[in-house]
Structure 1
C-alpha cells in the first residue's frame, strides 16, 4: 500500500544575498529570487527609507479610519525581506472593518486610544477571539484569518502594525462580496447569506 501526500505553502522567499532592491527596468537589473533587482553594489540609503509615518491619516470617510501602508511599493529594499508595516488611524468610533491578509500574519501595537479587536477562527468552529486593547498593548492576527479593529473611545486612536510579508495583501470582506466587479449574482448571494434579494441589491449598490 502506497501513501501519497502533498503540501502546499506560500510565503515570501528567503533572500540569497544581502539586498534585492526591487526595480522596474530589467535592463538595469539582475534576476535574483524570481525578481528583477537592482545591482547590490548600486543600492543607496533611499532604497530602505520611508518618511512621514508620524503624519495622521485622513479618517473623514464613512468608516472613520485610514491605513498608511509601508510595503515594498514604498520601500523597494523590502523586496524578499518578508516584512512590512502600516499606521492605522481611527476617528472616534471608527473601525477597520472585517478583512484578511492572505499572505501575512499581523502584529498590532496601540499607540493611542482604546481598540476592541478580534479575529475569527476557520470553519467549522468560527470562534471569535477578541480583546480590548489600550495604549501599549499588542495583539496578533494569524495569517489569512478574518479580523477587525474598532475604536471604542471618545478620542482618536492610533496603532502601528507589522506584517510578515513585503506585500501581505488585503481583502475587505464586504467590499469583496458586495463590491466585486462584475457583481456576484444577487440570487446567489441572497441564498448564501440568507438575505432578501432586495437587501443584497441595496448592499451591492453601496459598495
Structure 2
C-alpha cells in the first residue's frame, strides 16, 4: 500500500494488542457486567470513536505535539483520571431503588429516554478514551513504525492504518461486551448480588482512575 510498510505485521500486532487486556477492555467489561450488553456495546463504540479522534490527530501531527508537551500530558491525565473516578463513585453509591425508578421512567417515556441513555454511555466511553494520554503516546509511537519515512502519502497512510485499527478494535470490543453482558442476564433476578457487582465494577473504575493519575510518561 502507498505510504505503508509491513502492513501484515501491523494487522497481527493490532490483533495481539486487542486480545491483551487493558484499560479499554476493563472499562467495557465493567459497563457490560454492570449494565448489560447494550451498555457494553455503546461503550465499545464510544471508545472506537475516541480512537478515530486519535487517528486523525496522528495523521495531521497533533498527537506528536501533544505528546511533546509535559503540561498538556499532565492536564489530560488528571482530567481523564477524575472522570473515571467520577463514573466509579456513581456506580458505587447509586441506590438500587433509584436505578429501578430510572428504569421505570425510561420505560414510560419509551424510545427517547432509551436513546438518551445509550447516547450518554457512548459519550462516556468516548471521553474515557480521548482523555487517556497513554493512548496518545501509543498512537504517536506505534503508527509511525508502519509509515514509509519521507513518503508523500503520509496522511493517507496514517488514516488507512487508523481505519484498520478502529475496525479491528470495534469488532473485538463488541465481542467482549457481548460475552461480558451475558453475566448481567444471569444476575438480573438477584438485586442484592447485582448491587455488590455494581460496587465491584465501580471500585475497579476508581482504581483505573488512580492508576491513570499516577502514570508517568
Relative to the length of structure 1, the TM-score reads 0.27
Task: Give the helix-richer structure, 1 or 2.
Answer: 2
Indicate the structure (1 or 2) with the bigger Cα radius of gyration.
1
Relative to the length of structure 2, the TM-score reads 0.26
Task: Give the strand-richer structure, 1 or 2.
Answer: 1
